[in-house]
Amino acid sequence: MKLKYKDKNSSDKKDTELSRLKLELKKQEKTAQDFKNKFLRALADYQNYEKRVIQEKDALKQNANRGLLERILPILDDLEKAEIFIKDPGLKLIFDKLKQVLKDEEVEEILLAGKEFDPHFAEAIEVVEGKEDNKIVEVLRKCYKFKGKILRVAQVRVSKKTEEPISKSATNSNN
């Protein structure tokens, strides 16, 4: 029977080689993980960039629409005034179509008559005497909002509470 002689040097070489390979594997795994993390970050950056481009494009479109709508509102005002004096079904049809287009574009009228004056929604053109203080008594030009933001403020007449005149009997009793 032959005994195999185990060479200690060869065993140490194999252990050293194994250790070196394990170390190399860990290094390569770390490198792969680093590349994966960089890729995921780059992907997230790109997705955020795409979202930002879409938002900027929408904002640009909305601003362009806003400018056009601001130019259309005086025409709407004129048609509304004309409808009061000219009873023409064609005029009414055009007026109604224009109002529908504005509604479809999310342009809404803000009703202010009889409400408390708020400078965010209206510009006071005139102050008149009234029973209540700081109430809108007449809307001269309507207020509109577009997609939740004020498109145009109203022009209004606002009331200022009148002081009650002191009666003669009240002044005589004080003397």
Q: So what's the pLDDT on residue 11? A: 77
Q: So what's the pLDDT on residue 175? A: 47
* Residues of the chain with confidence (pLDDT) below 70: 1-9, 164-175
How far is 62 from 39, CA to CA, in rounded Å?
34
Are 161 and 137 a contacting pair, CB within 8 Å?
no
Q: Identity (one letter) of the amino acid at 168?
A: K
Are 167 and 96 a contacting pair, CB within 8 Å?
no
In 68-106, beta strands by DSSP E: none
Nearest CA to 144 out of 113, 121, 118 is that of 121
Contacts of 131 (CB under 8 A, 6+ apart): 159, 161, 162
Q: Which domains does the chain carry?
A: 106-163 (2.30.22.10)
Exposure b/e, 27-38, CB count within 10 A at least 16 = b? eeeeeeeeeeee
3-state SS class at 119: coil
Q: So what's the pLDDT on residue 3? A: 53
pLDDT tens digits, residue range 79-126?
999 988 998 999 999 999 999 999 999 999 999 999 999 999 999 999
Q: So what's the pLDDT on residue 166? A: 55
Are 114 and 135 a contacting pair, CB within 8 Å?
yes
Are 157 and 137 a contacting pair, CB within 8 Å?
yes
Phi, psi of 157 (to 5 degrees): -100, 135
Are 174 and 138 a contacting pair, CB within 8 Å?
no
